[in-house]
Amino acid sequence: MPHDYQSLFYPPVDVNASTVAQAGTSMFVSVDDGESLTEVPLDFPGGGSASALHASTPSRIYVGSETGDVVRADHGTHWVTKKLTSPASGYVSSLAVHPANARLLWLTLSSSDAGRVYRSGNGGWSWVDVTTNLPHVPVNTVEVDPQDEARAWVGLDVGVWQTLDSGMTWSEYGTGLPNALVEDLLLHPHARLLRAGTRNRGVWEVDADWPASFPICGTQWSGTLDAGQMQRWFTFDWPATWHVVWTVMPTSGSDSPQLQWSVAVQRASAEFVTYWITVTNLTTDTVTFDGRYAIMSRY
């Protein structure tokens, strides 16, 4: 790194696929798993170093500074930066982009004479202060719900708070947390576990959909088998953390067993699996049936 590069003692870092980035007075970013690094000037108008960084995609990174500046870096043939609107003067502690809506941004400030939580619906060109009824303490982190654009959580110097209405109102979320600073929040998108990292008091988790009602049951497909026929069905992109039970149910009655089935699983990726269900017709008649699932838990 160049001799004039400066950063916080713990500089902000993020990873998305093969993109790895760390920022200070400039940003060093790799798009090949760290094999090579490119320095990207940030040129914060207010000076200072980066204090928050979020790689929303492998080719788009948002960086916030100690003085409230926000910069977006986009990668094509090379990295290009754009200065976004600064919501307020203060220390940017966290940035989040909704996975289903690239224009929906959340930003928190741990120190500000104005608000401490801001929301943008136009990619950071304008911001709305949604601090509303939060306690008057620093806000250190924000996490969004990929299934609900209006839902988010923030971690404060004490406690975790949730909004269900895009920040119009907040309520304290979860019980049993120690009296400690909440430094980071992370939602596991498939297990639906919200994890809070505290200072000196460990990591805590809570079911984001508590109290969730299990099992969750449904019909995945319908099939027909001729007399004595065996056929295999597959159903893909099921989260690997889920505990799923598969069954087949004939849709017409009989005085004898009609169907036999077996289930095999394939690792489709680090996050998802494919289920293969082999069904055999034990009768001399045509049998129609439903392929049904029961999600017993998400982890």
Digit-coded pLDDT (tens) for 202-237: 999 999 987 778 999 999 999 999 999 999 999 999
Q: What's the CA angle centered on 170, arms 166 and 173, to 5 degrees? A: 115
Q: Which of 107, 184, 104, 116 lies closest to 148 in space, CA to CA?
A: 104
How many domains would you assign to the chain? 2
Mean pLDDT of 228-255: 94
Residues 239 and 258 in one domain: yes
**Percent of the chain whose pLDDT exceeds 70:** 99
- Find the length of the chain: 299
Q: Is the pLDDT of residue 3 over 70?
A: no
Residues 186 and 275 in one domain: no
Residues 156 and 251 in one domain: no
Q: Which of 279, 218, 271 lies closest to 245 in space, CA to CA?
A: 218
Range of the domain at 262: 216-297
Residue 4 lies in a domain: no
Answer with the one of 207, 239, 274 that is the final residue of a domain: 207
Mean pLDDT of 271-287: 96
3-state secondary structure of 125: coil
Which DSSP state fits 5? -
Residues 255 and 156 in one domain: no
- Say what the alpha-carbon torsion angle 133, 134, 137, 143 is, to the nearest 10 degrees: -160
- Six-digit token string for 44: 């914060």
The enclosing domain of 284 has a CATH number of 2.60.120
Residue 118 lies in a domain: yes
Q: Which of 124, 100, 92 lies closest to 12 in space, CA to CA?
A: 92
Residue 1 lies in a domain: no
- Six-digit token string for 198: 């505290």
Pairwise CA distance, residues 299 & 184, whole Å: 21
Q: How far is CA 23 from the centre of its chain?
A: 22
Per-residue pLDDT, 1: 55
List pLDDT tens digits, range 18-60. 999 999 999 999 999 999 999 999 999 988 899 999 999 999 9
Residue 185 lies in a domain: yes
Residue 3 lies in a domain: no
